[in-house]
Chain A
Amino acid sequence: MSGPPCPATAPARASPAAGTAAEHADREQHVWGVLGRVPDPEIPVLSIVDLGIVRHVRQQADGRMCVGLTPTYSGCPATELIRTMVCAALESAGFPDAILEEVLSPPWTSDWLTAGGRAKLRAFGIAPPEEAVASPRRLWQVAAVSCPRCGSRQTERLSEFGSTPCKAHYRCRECREPFDYFKCL
C-alpha cells in the first residue's frame, strides 16, 4: 500500500544509502522536525505531528525517506492537502524522492493528540478531547467538556457535528461563548 512518490519527483540523486545507523537516526530525526512544522490546514496551530497522524519516518535501504501518514476520519477532506504539504516540505528540506505511505491500521484515535497539541488547541479556543482513552462506552457518557475560554465545566452541546468531521459544537453556560470541541474518536 505504498503511495506514489511526491509529485515533483526529482531525478534520482546519489542517495546517501550507505550511512551508519546513527546517521540514519539523525536524518530521521531531522525529518520529524520538518514534519513538526507542517500545520494542520484546518487547525493551523497544530502541526501534523501534534495531531498524531505521522505514524513513522524511516530511511529505506536505498536512502529514500519513507513517511507513514494516517487519516483522522475516512472522509477528512484535509487528508489530500496534507499529503501535498508534506511533499512540499520534504522537498524543500532536501528529500524530493521521499515516499508517502497511507497507514490505516491501527486507526487514528484522538488519544494520539500530544499533550503539547492539547494545550495549543485550548489556547486556540478549541476544547481538546476530554478523556485520555477513546472507547465506545465513553461515547455514550455525557462528557463534561470544559470551556476553553473561562474553564467552566458548565457547558452544553449544541451540535454533535461541527465545522469539520473532528469537531462538535458547544456553548459555555457561564461565559455564554460558543466553542468547538475536538471529539474523542
Chain B
Amino acid sequence: MSATAPPLAAATPQHSGRAGGSGLEAARLRCVLRLGDTSLVLGQRLGAWIGHAPALEEELALANLALDFVGQARLLLGYAGELEGAGRDEDALAFLRDAPEFLNLTLAEQPNGDFAHTIVRQWLLDNWQLEIYQALTASADTRLAAIAAKAVKETRYHHRFSSGWLIRLGDGTGESRQRVQRALDELWRFTDELFAPDEVDERASAAGIAPSLPELAPRWSTRIEQELRAATLQRPAAQPYPWHGKRGAHSEHLGHMLAEMQHLPRTYPGARW
C-alpha cells in the first residue's frame, strides 16, 4: 500500500463514455461510484454474517442492513451506469470490475472480524452516511437527492442499531469492552479517509452536487465523541492517512472479497436464475 495518493488516472474506468468529456461530469460519475461501491462492499460484508451471527435477532438485523445497502448500491450503480454511458448496468459494474476500479471507502472493505469489529465498522460508517445522505438530499443533482432522501431514512435505523450495540458492548462486561475498544483502535486509522476531500470531491462540492466534506467532518466528530462517551470508550489518536480506497487503491482485503462475490457471474457469464 502506497503512502502517497495514487494518480487519479490509475483508477479511471477503461470505458470512457460521455462522462469522460467534461471534468464536472467525470467528477459526478466518480462521486456516485464512490457512494455506490461503499454501499455494495459493506452490504456484501454484512451478508457474510448470515448463518454465523451470535443470535438470531442480530442475524436478522445484519441481513436487513445488508439488504438496504445492496438496494442503495443498485440505485446508485444503476445511475452511474447511465452517467458513464458505456452500456454497463448495475450488475456489470458490480460483478465485472476489478478491485482497482472500485472506489469504495477503505473502511467498508475491512473484514468482519468478531461481532465488535463489525459493529464498530458499521457505527463509523452509519454516522458517515447520516451526514452525507442528509446533505445530499439538497444536492443539485435531483437523482442523487432522491436516492439520498430514501437512503437516509434507512440509515437512521441502521445507526440506532449500531450505536445501541456500541454502547451495550462498551459499557458492558470486561470482555465486551476490551473487544470493542480493540476493534475501535484497529479501525480508527481508516476514518481519516471519510472526510478528506480530493479534487473530485471539491469539484462536485463546488457544483453543488455533493456536500463539502470539511464542513461535515466536525458534525461527524461531535456525534462520534458523544456516543463514545456513552459507551465509555476511548477515542484513538488521529493517525496519518495512507488509505485511498475511494481513488481505487485498496487494502489487500477487497480483492479476496470480490473473488468470492464475482465468482459466479464471471464463471458463467449471463447466468440467470
A106 with B151: CB separation less than 8 A: no
Within the complex, which residue of A75, A109, A163, A169 is in contact with B69, where a contact is CB–CB below 8 Å? A75
> Which B residue's beta carbon lies closest to that of A1?
B143
What are the residues of chain B within 8 A of A106 when measuring CB–CB? 149
What are the residues of chain B within 8 A of A139 when measuring CB–CB? 156-157, 160
B146 with A73: CB separation less than 8 A: no
The contact size tier of chain A is 20 to 34
* Given the contacts A73-B68, A75-B68, A160 and B146 also touching, CB distance less than 8 Å: no
What are the residues of chain B within 8 A of A160 when measuring CB–CB? 57, 61, 157, 160-161
B209 within 8 A of A: no
What are the residues of chain A within 8 A of B70 when measuring CB–CB? 75
Interface flags, B102-138, vs A, CB<8A=1, else 0: 0000000000000000000000000000000000000
A114 within 8 A of B: no
What are the residues of chain A within 8 A of B153 when measuring CB–CB? 107, 109, 134, 185
A76 with B71: CB separation less than 8 A: yes
A74 with B160: CB separation less than 8 A: no
Q: What is the count of residue pairs linking A and B with beta-carbon distances less than 8 angstroms?
A: 79
B74 with A74: CB separation less than 8 A: yes
Within the complex, which residue of A108, A109, A140, A169 is in contact with B57, where a contact is CB–CB below 8 Å? A169
Question: Which of B142-161 touch A at CB < 8 Å?
Answer: 142-143, 145-147, 149-151, 153-154, 156-157, 160-161
Question: Which of B223-255 touch A at CB < 8 Å?
Answer: none
What are the residues of chain B within 8 A of A74 when measuring CB–CB? 68, 71-72, 74-75, 147, 150-151, 154
What are the residues of chain A within 8 A of B50 when measuring CB–CB? none
A105 within 8 A of B: yes
Within the complex, which residue of A105, A161, A185 is in contact with B146, where a contact is CB–CB below 8 Å? A105
Question: B94 → chain A, closest Cβ, in Å?
Answer: 13
Complex Cα gap A101–B66 (Å) = 25
A158 within 8 A of B: yes
B60 within 8 A of A: yes
B149 with A161: CB separation less than 8 A: no
> Which B residue's beta carbon lies closest to that of A108?
B150
What are the residues of chain B within 8 A of A159 when measuring CB–CB? 57, 60-61
Within the complex, which residue of B68, B146, B157 is in contact with A107, where a contact is CB–CB below 8 Å? B146
What are the residues of chain B within 8 A of A75 when measuring CB–CB? 43, 66-72, 74
Interface flags, A1-35, vs B, CB<8A=1, else 0: 10000000000000000000000000000000000
Complex Cα gap A43–B72 (Å) = 23
Question: Which of A76-96 touch B at CB < 8 Å?
Answer: 76-77
B64 within 8 A of A: yes
Question: A79 → chain B, closest Cβ, in Å?
Answer: 8
> Which B residue's beta carbon lies closest to that of A79?
B71
Complex Cα gap A171–B150 (Å) = 29
What are the residues of chain A within 8 A of B146 when measuring CB–CB? 104-105, 107
A165 within 8 A of B: yes
Question: B62 → chain A, closest Cβ, in Å?
Answer: 8
Complex Cα gap A66–B149 (Å) = 24
Question: B139 → chain A, closest Cβ, in Å?
Answer: 12
A73 with B71: CB separation less than 8 A: yes
> Which B residue's beta carbon lies closest to that of A158?
B57
What are the residues of chain A within 8 A of B75 when measuring CB–CB? 74, 104
Interface flags, B5-18, vs A, CB<8A=1, else 0: 00000000000000
B160 with A140: CB separation less than 8 A: yes
Complex Cα gap A159–B69 (Å) = 19
A161 with B69: CB separation less than 8 A: no
Residues of chain A touching chain B, judged by Cβ–Cβ distance below 8 Å, are: 1, 71, 73-77, 104-109, 134, 136, 139-140, 158-163, 165, 169, 183, 185
26 intermolecular pairs with C-beta atoms under 8 Å apart: A1-B143, A73-B67, A73-B154, A74-B71, A74-B72, A74-B150, A75-B43, A75-B68, A76-B67, A105-B145, A105-B146, A105-B149, A105-B150, A107-B149, A134-B153, A136-B156, A139-B160, A158-B57, A160-B61, A160-B157, A160-B160, A161-B60, A161-B61, A162-B60, A169-B57, A169-B60
**3 tightest A-B CB contacts, nearest first:** A75-B71, A74-B71, A105-B146
